[in-house]
Amino acid sequence: MVKEDIPELVEYPPIEGFIIFLSKVPSRLWAEKPVLYYRYEKWDALGLLGERMHRTTPRTKYLELCFREVGIKITEILDNEHEDYFQYKNNKERFLAALHYVEGKLTAGKMRDIYNKSKNLSDGKFFYE
């Protein structure tokens, strides 16, 4: 069940939570070619996390800013345009590898700052499962 989030009670979503969630999504639901969130019953990573056209969520904006902080454009991972991730055979593996990289590069303090910034930049409401 999804409940409305109380942002001041959540310091920041740990990257590990995204890794766990996305690793459990069946591969058949992941788009193999670049899509804009959703197409033909398949999603990219941001689409699986609730982002839609012209509507970010605090969590997807948070991930985008985390990637940016470590020098990666999240769209380069989603569109298989980042040369460091060409060796991964599908979008699921590629995105999970990038999440592990990002997780290892950011401190808790930095993630807290990024999450606070993402709440202000997001188009969506706050939700917490």
How do residues 34-84 score in pLDDT, each as one tens digit? 776 667 788 888 888 887 776 777 888 899 999 999 999 999 998 899 999
- For the segment 100-117, the average pLDDT, to the nearest whole number, is 93
76-85 CB burial, b ≥16 within 10 A, e <16: ebbebebeeb
State the pLDDT confidence band at 123, using cuts at 50, 70 and 90. Answer: low
21-46 CB burial, b ≥16 within 10 A, e <16: ebeeeeeeebbeeebebbeeebbbbb
Q: Which domain holds residue 83?
A: 3-128
Q: In terms of pLDDT, which residue wins out, 121 or 84?
A: 84
Q: Is the model's pLDDT at 8 over the cut of 70?
A: no
Cβ atoms 123, 56 nearer than 8 A: yes
- Our count of domains for the chain comes to 1
State the pLDDT confidence band at 100, using cuts at 50, 70 and 90. Answer: very high
